[in-house]
Structures are given as structure tokens and as C-alpha cells.
Amino acid sequence: MKFQTRLAVVLVNYNSGDFLISCIKSLQISTLNLDLDIWVVDNASFDGSLERCKKVFPSFHYIVNKDNLGFGKANNQALAKIKTEFILLLNPDTKVGKDTLPFMVDFMRKNPMVGAATCKGLKSDGTLDLAYHRGFPTPWASLIYFLGNNKFYHLTNRDMSKAHEVDAISGSFFMTRKSILNKIGFFDEDFWLYGEDLDLCWRIKKACFKIMYIPDVEVLHFKGISSGIKDHSQEISTATKASKLRAFNSFYETMKIFYKKNLADKYPFFINWLVYLAIDLKWFLAKRRMQV
């Protein structure tokens, strides 16, 4: 019998519909030499997705919340209980490639100074999801990004065909280690939705561990199923008007939270003022379409 590495997988569900079960089935295909320990944290879904999942997969760990606690806090509930060293934080609106999990776990096992890693993320149209491959949003990187150049924020000048270090990866496929989370802390619960993955990457790098992008394997990410504010998934999202508004506002609020916590003390007042003004302006202009 071959040695099996245990991998804990945390899925935060909020009205993910049939995507949740589809995601888990893709995980089960990708289990060569892996012992999966699956945790589903439900944030007060009302679409029946939790009940269907429990019926199909009754042996999983379930944490059921009476309110929508947000992404970071819901993940933290499971992370506090998990003892397994290797952990994958995964969005339910994803489909994992059949070789992805064993490849990623093997990479983490062989590279102990890697604090977190992700694979190649593909959107539903087959294009790269650049949220899996980011630099930190410094004032300079943000200015260049707003002017239409993506090389500092999404690091588009890198060779995307080879594994390399980045500043930040997406929380939709975020492989990490329990030992590192015990050292630096879990998600900062000041972030309700969006930005918490960026903040966690900041703290991992501050602790002198690497964040890696591994394009050898992939995950398909439909994006925005629960939030309803992504342009390409508007027609398949089940988000209510109220949940869309909360997600939309959180998207811009977290930009300010991240900047205040991690970058503001490195720059003079007038630079910080300009950054906050730019966020507010972008927020105001985006309100007409309610999309990000």
C-alpha cells in the first residue's frame, strides 16, 4: 500500500447551488495517494445546496452558521479545528483538475519554505484568472494598474508557463500549512469578503516564507457565483440584490482596510490621501453597473 498524505480541504458555501457538489466530485477524482479530509462551512445558505451536499456526502465535516459570517471568519471556524498539516482553501465554484491535488501537495512537501501556493486558475471562458497571480497593491502598482498597465499588480510581465514566486494568490485555491497558520494567525476577520487572502499572503511573506504560482496543473474557477458581482457569471449567479450590494461594497472597503493595515505607515499623508480618494472614485464610478 502506498503512503497517503492527508489533505484537509475547506469549502465555504453560500448559495453555491449545484457547484458545491460538482466541486467535491472533482476533488474525489484528484485523490491519487491522498487522504482527503473535507470540511464544508455553510454561511446560512437558503438555496438547498447544503442539504443536497449532506445527502450526497454525509460523512464530511459540516459547520452550519445562522448568519453569513463572511469568507475569512467562516474559514477560520474550520481552521481552528483542523490538525492536518496540509490545507487547501477552495471555493465551491471551482472544478479541480485530476492531477492538481497530488501535484500541489507533493510540491509543498518537497519545498518546506513555501508558505502558500496555488495552481493555474482558468476562468469559465478558458482565459487565465489573474487573481491567482498578484503583486501587492502599493501606490505605484495601483497607479500603473489604473492607467492600464498590469505588470506590477497582476505581474503580467512574468513567464506564466513556469513556476515562480509571487506576492499574493487567490483564496479560491489557496494551499498552505497548519504550522504556518499557527505561527502567523488565521484570516483577519476585519475583512468580510475580498482582501483577506491578500492580507494573509502579506503576513506569510513577512514571516519569510514564499508564495508560489505553479502553472503545471490547473483549476477552473467560475467566479462570482455567490457574490453576483462578476460580469461573466451574472446569468448563473443566484445572489440576491441585498447580497450583491454587500459584496460590492465589501470589495472596495477591503481595499482601504488592507492599505491602512499594511501600507499606510510607509507613505506620507498626501500619498495616503490620494490612494483613499482613488478608491472612493473607483467605487463611485462602479456603482452604476454593480460589477467589479
Supply the pLDDT for residue 35: 92
User: Residue 155 phi/psi, 5° resolution?
Assistant: 55, 45
Structural contact between residues 65 and 44, judged by C-beta atoms closer than 8 angstroms: yes
**pLDDT averaged per 10 residues, the chain (length 292):** 79 95 92 88 95 97 97 97 97 95 96 98 92 92 82 89 96 97 96 94 97 97 69 60 79 91 93 90 79 64
HSE-CB for 287 with a 13 A CA cutoff: 8
Domain parsing of the chain, residue ranges: 5-224
Protein fold of 5-224: Spore Coat Polysaccharide Biosynthesis Protein SpsA; Chain A (3.90.550)
| Beta strand pairing call for 210-221 and 94-96 | antiparallel
Does residue 125 contact residue 232 with C-beta atoms inside 8 Å? Answer: yes
pLDDT in tens, 151-201: 888 899 999 999 999 999 999 999 999 999 999 999 999 999 889 999 999
Which cell goes with 153? 499588480
Place of cell 440576491: 240
Q: Write down the pLDDT at residue 184.
A: 97
Are residues 229 and 193 in contact, defined by beta-carbon separation less than 8 angstroms? no
CA pair distance 13, 291, nearest whole angstrom: 21
Three-state SS sequence of 128-173: ECHHHCECCCCHHHHHHHHCCCCCCCCCCCCCCCCCEECCECCCCE
Determine the angle formed by the axes of helices 269-286 and 139-146, rounding to 10 degrees.
40
pLDDT at 1: 38
pLDDT of residue 143: 84
What 98-102 contacts at long range (C-beta under 8 Å, 24+ apart), as own/partner pairs, is 98/26, 98/29, 98/30, 99/30, 99/32, 99/217, 100/30, 100/217, 100/218, 100/219, 101/7, 101/27, 101/30, 101/31, 101/32, 101/34, 101/36, 102/30, 102/31, 102/32, 102/33, 102/34
